[in-house]
Structure 1
Amino acid sequence: MLNLLNQATAPTWDDPIEMLYACHGKVKKFCGQLHLLPDYIAQHGCNAAAQEAITQISTYFNRAAPLHHADEELDFFPLLSKYCPEAQMVIDELEAQHIDLHKNWDTLHTQLQETLAGVRVAPDMQIIQNFTMAYDEHIPKEEQLFELGKTHIPPNELGEIGKIMAARRVG
């Protein structure tokens, strides 16, 4: 979205598909930080900057990512399936991937917490790669469905699920 001054504005729940895209932007940002973390810690130790990064990454993947997946599974995917039933096979695949993404996060989160506690020097790069590669595969498939949603789902129904998604974050 752009405002009159040509400055980017943040999406709102009035446009839930853009909010889903925005979540993916955050996932990509935090995955990029995860890749940098072991080298950073090797050079600087688990200093305040590393601790803050770990805390922000953990907060996102513990809170926002599960909400994002709920938005998709409870609201967006069923609505897309209603208007674009041929997407169901991909929806089923993505929902199964959500389970694996959460399992991968649980493993990585344990290592991040151990790093904060001084039990481990840094998270294992292979664990980080497993986690981020799964998202690298997952996100493009979802974004294809977001585009289908823009084409097939009536705007008033998108607005309704946007309200539900916003309410999910209040309750």
Structure 2
Amino acid sequence: MNELFSLPTAGFDHPLEMLVACHVRVRRNCRLIERIAEHLEDEGVDEEVIVASASALRYFDVAGRDHHRDEEEDLFPALLAAASASDRPGVESLVSRLRDDHVRLEKLWSEVRALLETVAAGRSAKFPPVLAAALSRAYDDHITEEEGVLLPLARRMLPVETLERVGASMARRRGVK
């Protein structure tokens, strides 16, 4: 279950690539959660699933939260500010959809989180694999739109100086100087 260390990396000087690298981690952690649900159904609670549950909790509680903030507080406002009059309605619509997605993802995560907390504490939990699959599917759909529409738009619209500010803000959020 622990394949999370061989992932692409990017620095704050390349914030869009950093978001893509985070998407890879989100998808891998979603797959981990799916395996946790399957493991619980087949094997029950054991040390492996306790460790995996704690790992998924740490990831989504810290990096996942920061990732949404990176977009909500930095990238979305930068895109809206950079949008021309003709681009603005499309950018506003995209940002609105992605913000709505974030709300839905947070709601799904809160359901999954409660189950993972129980398992990470070594207690048995009914963790429907369909719930884990729903989280994965929701993130896959969201990431597909971000990588297919949002990030190409950001690459086209945002000047280097703006991307530097976005990256610096992302670094500050994580306590990196």
Classify the TM-score, shorter chain. 0.7 to 0.9
1:159 aligns with one of 148, 164, 172:
164
Q: Which residue matches 1:78?
A: 77
**In structure 2, distance between residues paired with 1:51 and 1:119:** 9
- Contact 1:73 1:95 (8 Å CA) reproduced: yes
Q: Out of 44-53 and 21-30, give the one that drifted further.
A: 44-53
Answering whether residue 62 of structure 2 is matched by residue 57 of structure 1, we say: no
1:112 aligns with one of 116, 122, 143:
116
Task: Give SS of 1:98's match.
Answer: helix
1:47–1:119 distance in 2 versus 1, CA, 3 Å:
closer
**In structure 2, distance between residues paired with 1:12 and 1:48:** 34
Instruction: State the Cα RMSD in Å.
Output: 1.9
**In structure 2, distance between residues paired with 1:129 and 1:42:** 14
Long gaps (5+) in structure 1: 1-7
Answering whether residue 129 of structure 2 is matched by residue 125 of structure 1, we say: yes
**In structure 2, distance between residues paired with 1:103 and 1:153:** 31
**In structure 2, distance between residues paired with 1:20 and 1:116:** 28
TM-score for the superposition, normalised by structure 1? 0.87
**In structure 2, distance between residues paired with 1:159 and 1:25:** 22
Q: Aligned-pair distance for 1:151?
A: 1.4
**In structure 2, distance between residues paired with 1:48 and 1:64:** 24
Deviations 1:78-129 (A, max 9, x none): 1112223232101101101111111111111111122234543452112212
2:141 aligns with one of 109, 133, 137:
137
Long gaps (5+) in structure 2: 1-6
Q: Out of 37-46 and 87-96, give the one that drifted further.
A: 37-46
TM-score for the superposition, normalised by structure 2? 0.85
**In structure 2, distance between residues paired with 1:97 and 1:9:** 25
Q: Which residue matches 2:14?
A: 15
Number of matched pairs: 164
